[in-house]
Structure 1
Amino acid sequence: MAALNGKLTKRLVENLGPGRHGDGAGLYLVVDPSGARRWIVRVTVKGQKNRKGAPLRTDFGLGGADVVTLNQARERALEYRRMAKSGLNPRFNAQREIPTFEEISRQVHIDRLPTWKNAKHGQQWVNTLRDYAFPKIGRMPVDSIDQPEVLMCLAPIWTLKHETAKRLAQRIKTVLDVAKSKGYRSGENPVTAIRDARVLPPVKKQVEHHDAMPWREVPAFYADLTTRSAMAAKALQFTILTAARTSEVLEMTWSEVDFDARLWTVPAARMKGGVEHRVPLTNEMLAILEPLKAMASTYVFEGQKRHQPLSNMSMLMLLRRMGRNDVTVHGFRSSFRDWAAEDAGAPRELAEAALAHQVGSDVERAYARSDLLDRRRALMEKWSLWIR
C-alpha cells in the first residue's frame, strides 16, 4: 500500500491552479489554464535509448482527473513503472482504457449543450460527425487517430461539399483537442497539421446569392400579396416590410412585441449573430399584427397545428404559387438593401443595422454601442410608404 501514497490529496487535485504538480515517483497532475486536469506519468525504460543515445525517458497520459481518480492514477502509474523497469515500453504494452472517437464526440456534445445557440444547432454539430466521421473512425480509440484517418473523412467531400467538410474538420479538431486535454492523446492535432501543410487542395469559395426581386418591382408584388388571406401571405408581407430573416419572423412570439413602444425585440438566441435585435414597427406592420392577436396563439404566425409556427417552407411555396420561381424569401432583404442605397440614400451603417448585420472590426463595434433605432424607424417608415 505504501506504493500508493503520495504528496497529493483529493482536495488538492480539485483545487490546484495551472501548472504541473508532482505526486511523487513520476506521477504528475497537469492543470491547464482552462482548468482542465489530467494525469501523466514519467518513466525511464530500462535498456532503451532515445535518438541521442541517452536513457529513454518519456511521458504517458493516464486520463483526465475528472474520470481517473487519484488512487486510480497511482495504480496506473505503478503499472507503467513496473513495465519500464522490466524493459517494456508502456506505449506498446500497457492495457489502457482509451475511449473511442464516437464516445468522446458524444460526450463533448453533451458537455456543450448549454452553450449551443439552440437545440437544432447542437444537433447539427453531432450529425455532421455521425454522417461523415463515425462510419470511418467512430469505433477507433481516440489516441490512434492521425492524419490518414482524418483524411479518410475529409477527402471524399472536400471539393463536393466544401462548407460541410470545413465544418467537419473543425468538429473533429475539437473532439481531438478535448481528448488531449483529458490525457487520452498527445502531440499535435492532425487536423491542424493537415491544414498547415495544405495537404488538401484549395477550393475557391462560391458565393451564393439569394435570388432577389428588383426593388422597383416590390410595390406591385406587395399589392398582389395583400389580396391573399393565407397566413403565409401575412408572414411574407411582414417579412418584406421588416427585411427580417425567415426564421426570425416564423418563430416570432407575442411576448417579443411591445405595441405601446411600437417595437419588436428579437432575442439574441434567435439571431444569426447572437445579438438582440430591435425592429421598429410601422403602421403597415402593426396593421398586419393587430388582427392576428385574436387567435391567441403562442406564435404570431401560427401554422396548421395549434400553437406551432408556420413551416419554414410556407412562404417559399407561396412565391411558387404566385408564379415567382425567380426569387426567394431571403432575397427581399437584398431588395431592401438595394432600395436603401439607391433610392433612400441611407448610409451604409444604417442600412446594415436595419438588416442586423455586424459591420466593422471588433474594436469599431465595441465603440458603436447604439443600434440607431430612431434613425432606423424613419428608414423603415419610408420603406413601408414606398411599398404601399
Structure 2
Amino acid sequence: MGLGSVRDVSLKEARAEAERWRGVARRGQDPIKERQRLAREAERNMYILKDIAEDAFESRKADLKEDGKAGRWFSPLKLYVLPKLGAVPVSQIDQQDIRDALRPIWHTKADTARKAMNRLGICFQHAAALGLDVDLQATEKAKALLGRQKHKVQHVPALPWQEVSEFYASLSDGTITHLALRLLILTAVRSKPLRFLRLEQINGSVWTIPGEIQKGLRDRTPDFAVPLSAEAQAIVEQAKPFSRDGYLFPSVRRGVISDATMSRLMERRGMEARPHGFRSSFRDWCAEAAAVPHEVAETALGHVIGGSVERAYRRTDYLEQRRVVMERWAEQVVGGSSELLHMVRQ
C-alpha cells in the first residue's frame, strides 16, 4: 500500500500513516478498500449547497402548489442564501455561516428570513438523505446565534366589521371592480378563487372552488363548496353580462381582474384596509356578533380544522350551518343588522 511520493511525504508523516493503516488492518479491515471508501465519501461531501437546494426543490415540486412555478418556495434561498453560500460544499456549512448569511435580514425582513431558514433546514435534511455528512442542527444553532426576531409580522389591514356595511353600499357603480369586491365581501373567500371564478363552478346557491386554485398543497386540497346568500347570487347575476371566456370577472384586455385593481380602489379612497382583510372582518363578526362555533367559522374561511386523525373521522363540511351564517353575514353587510345569531354546536 503506497503512502505517497517521497518528495511529498516526510519520513515522520509516512511512519504515522503506516501505523494508522496497520491499525485498520488489525481491526480486520482492508486498508486499501477503506482508503478508497473514505475518498469516495470525501468526494461526495463536496456537493455544493446550490446543487443540493435545486435537487431538494425538484423533489418537493409535487407537494407545492402548481409545482412551485411561482418560485415562492425557492426564492428566499435564491435571494438571500445562495449568493453567499451556494458555492460552498454543504458538508462544510455550519451555524456561523448561516448566521452571517441571514443576519442582514433577520430583523428587517423577519418573515422572509424565517422562510429562508426553514428551506435551508430542508436542504440539510435532503443532503443527509443523500448520505452526505451534514450538521442537521446547524439551522437551530444559527437561530440561537441570531437571537429572537424583533420584527413582528404585519397582518393585512382589515376594515372593522361594523364599517363593512357602509363600504359595501358605496360600491354601487355596477362595474366589474365594484361587483367583484361586493362578492368578495359576501363570500369571505380569498382573492384568487374569486378572480378566477368560472360560471360552471356555480350550481344554484353553491359555488364550488376547485382545489388547485385554493391556497394550500395542490394534491391535498379538495374542492371547497361556498354557500351563496341571496345577495351573493344577485351579484353573480349582475356580473354575468360582463363575463368573457367563461370568467365572471374578466379584465379589460385579457385574462381576469387583478388583485391590484381592487386594492387600488381602496387605496384611492385613502383606506388602509385591503381586499384580503375582509376575511378578518368576517371572522371578527363571527366571534363578536354572531357567536358562530369555531369550527363552522374556520371552515367558512377554508381553514383546515384539527389534526389528521380528527379530519379523517369528521366527514361534514358544515355546509348547511355555513349557509345560515353567510345569509346572516349578507344581512349585516347589506343592512348593518346587529341581530345576534346563535347556532347549536353539532
Would the TM-score normalized by the shorter structure come out above 0.5? yes
**Shift in alpha-carbon separation, 1:320–1:192, aligned structure 2, 3 A:** closer
Does residue 310 (structure 1) correspond to residue 257 (structure 2)? The answer is yes
**Shift in alpha-carbon separation, 1:344–1:103, aligned structure 2, 3 A:** same
1:349 partner amino acid: E
Work out the CA distance in 1 between the residues paired with 2:78 and 2:129.
22
Work out the CA distance in 1 between the residues paired with 2:18 and 2:313.
62
Deviations 1:224-278 (Å, cap 9, x if unpaired)? 10x223311111000000011222212323342223xx21112233323553321
Name whichever structure is richer in helix by fraction.
Answer: 2
Work out the CA distance in 2 between the residues paired with 1:56 and 1:202.
51
Work out the CA distance in 1 between the residues paired with 2:70 and 2:165.
40
What displacement does 1:313 show?
0.9
Could you tell me which residue of structure 2 aligns to residue 240 of structure 1? 185
Retained in 1: the 8 A contact 2:227–2:326? yes
Work out the CA distance in 2 between the residues paired with 1:95 and 1:207.
42
Retained in 2: the 8 A contact 1:253–1:298? yes
Aligned residue runs from structure 1 range 135-174, under 5 A: 135-174=83-122
Work out the CA distance in 2 between the residues paired with 1:309 and 1:57.
74
Work out the CA distance in 2 between the residues paired with 1:95 and 1:296.
58
Deviations 1:169-197 (Å, cap 9, x if unpaired)? 121122222222223x21432534515x8
Work out the CA distance in 2 between the residues paired with 1:149 and 1:124.
23
Structure 2 counterpart SS, 1:160: coil
Deviations 1:305-364 (Å, cap 9, x if unpaired)? 32x12112111111123x241322122222222322333332232222212223444444
**What residue ranges of structure 1 are gaps of 5+ in the alignment?**
1-44, 59-77
What displacement does 1:114 show?
2.3
Q: Percent identity?
A: 33
Which residue of 82, 87, 91 maps to 1:134? 82
**What residue ranges of structure 2 are gaps of 5+ in the alignment?**
1-16, 335-346
Aligned residue runs from structure 1 range 42-81, under 5 A: 46-48=18-20, 55=24, 81=32
What displacement does 1:289 show?
1.7
Retained in 2: the 8 A contact 1:150–1:190? no
Does residue 111 (structure 1) correspond to residue 45 (structure 2)? The answer is no
Deviations 1:30-63 (Å, cap 9, x if unpaired)? xxxxxxxxxxxxxxx75228xxx964999xxxxx
What displacement does 1:279 show?
0.5
Retained in 2: the 8 A contact 1:302–1:310? yes
Structure 2 counterpart SS, 1:118: helix
1:81 partner amino acid: I
Name whichever structure is richer in strand by fraction.
Answer: 1
Which residue of 251, 267, 274 maps to 1:328? 274
**Shift in alpha-carbon separation, 1:136–1:119, aligned structure 2, 3 A:** same
RMSD: 3.2
Work out the CA distance in 2 between the residues paired with 1:153 and 1:249.
39
Work out the CA distance in 2 between the residues paired with 1:139 and 1:245.
40
Work out the CA distance in 1 between the residues paired with 2:26 and 2:81.
35
Under a length normalisation based on structure 2, what TM-score does the superposition of the two structures give? Answer: 0.78
**Shift in alpha-carbon separation, 1:47–1:253, aligned structure 2, 3 A:** farther
Aligned residue runs from structure 1 range 187-202, under 5 A: 187-192=134-139, 194=141, 198-202=144-148
Work out the CA distance in 1 between the residues paired with 2:263 and 2:116.
29
2:130 partner amino acid: K
**Shift in alpha-carbon separation, 1:122–1:214, aligned structure 2, 3 A:** closer
Structure 1 counterpart SS, 2:117: helix
Retained in 2: the 8 A contact 1:239–1:246? yes
Aligned residue runs from structure 1 range 20-99, under 5 A: 46-48=18-20, 55=24, 81=32, 84=35, 90=39, 98-99=46-47
Could you tell me which residue of structure 2 aligns to residue 211 of structure 1? 157
Does residue 229 (structure 1) correspond to residue 229 (structure 2)? The answer is no
**Shift in alpha-carbon separation, 1:119–1:360, aligned structure 2, 3 A:** closer
Could you tell me which residue of structure 2 aligns to residue 35 of structure 1? none
- Figure out how many residues of one structure are paired with residues of the other and give that number: 311
Deviations 1:38-91 (Å, cap 9, x if unpaired)? xxxxxxx75228xxx964999xxxxxxxxxxxxxxxxxxx9x936839xx9748
Which residue of 231, 234, 239 maps to 1:287? 234
Work out the CA distance in 1 between the residues paired with 2:253 and 2:82.
36
**Shift in alpha-carbon separation, 1:339–1:182, aligned structure 2, 3 A:** closer
Work out the CA distance in 2 between the residues paired with 1:46 and 1:342.
79
Retained in 1: the 8 A contact 2:98–2:139? no
Aligned residue runs from structure 1 range 243-258, under 5 A: 243-258=188-203
What displacement does 1:281 show?
1.3
**Shift in alpha-carbon separation, 1:205–1:156, aligned structure 2, 3 A:** closer
**Shift in alpha-carbon separation, 1:96–1:177, aligned structure 2, 3 A:** closer
**Shift in alpha-carbon separation, 1:366–1:205, aligned structure 2, 3 A:** farther
Under a length normalisation based on structure 1, what TM-score does the superposition of the two structures give? Answer: 0.70
Deviations 1:178-221 (Å, cap 9, x if unpaired)? 222223x21432534515x8222022572534332232322222
Does residue 345 (structure 1) correspond to residue 291 (structure 2)? The answer is yes
